[in-house]
A and B are shown apart, each in its own frame.
Chain A
């Protein structure tokens, strides 16, 4: 069955450093992959989308890579700030647009 794995342990990082999150998937060939941010008690908010033919995508301090050979996506937050503290969800999608979400990784940025 299809499986999406994100690190279940919280990532604690000092302000100003780069946070790197991993999303691995198995039994799956997604057409594209999305990353969402979720704050406590709120719904997820879309951040970035990367397609299977793209290696890297950037948006401000965020960077996403997509390696279809390794079946992995990396999500980077550069120059992290306390306001970046949240849970980040990985969501690969098939060619019909059906998303499947990972459980998410919590990021805690301390001043």
Chain B
């Protein structure tokens, strides 16, 4: 185990649903990340939080809304998603956003119908 947990592990939702992904890290890190991984494509960085402040939004559509209430928890709120948003969503953490090694959670496999 990497010390980063994600729930749920699998999620199926309709385009009109609202759901949230949760990430929790037990490593005492200050930076947390959301990535999207589609089949046969590189990981795409979505958001970066450092000390609870958002430091990067990689031109992500507004139907994805992140929330970081504290350095240990990160959420990704989803609403009115499209089928092309189906992917593996990975959370990661690092000591801070300039530190080198990132520790990834197991991911949430999302299917949008």
Contact A49 B100, beta carbon cutoff 8 Å: yes
CA distance A104 to B38 in the complex (A): 12
Contact B42 A46, beta carbon cutoff 8 Å: no
Q: How far is the CB of B110 from chain A (nearest CB, A)?
A: 13
How many of B's residues come within 8 Å of A, CB to CB?
25
Q: Is B99 an interface position by the 8 A CB rule? A: yes
Residues of B close to A43: CB separation below 8 A = 2, 4, 90-92, 104-107
Q: Is A44 an interface position by the 8 A CB rule? A: yes
Contact A45 B109, beta carbon cutoff 8 Å: no
Contact B109 A41, beta carbon cutoff 8 Å: yes
Residues of B close to A93: CB separation below 8 A = 100
Contact A103 B4, beta carbon cutoff 8 Å: no
Q: Is A62 an interface position by the 8 A CB rule? A: no
Residues of A close to B97: CB separation below 8 A = 96-97
- Interface residues in chain B, defined as those with a beta carbon under 8 Å from any beta carbon in chain A: 2, 4, 40-43, 45, 56, 88, 90-92, 94, 97-107, 109
A-B contact pairs, 16 of them (CB 8 A): A8-B40, A42-B107, A43-B4, A43-B106, A44-B43, A44-B90, A45-B2, A97-B94, A97-B97, A97-B100, A98-B45, A99-B45, A99-B102, A101-B43, A103-B40, A103-B42
- Interface residues in chain A, defined as those with a beta carbon under 8 Å from any beta carbon in chain B: 4, 8, 32, 34, 41-46, 49, 89, 93, 96-104
What 4 A-B pairs are tightest by C-beta distance, nearest first? A43-B104, A97-B98, A101-B43, A101-B42
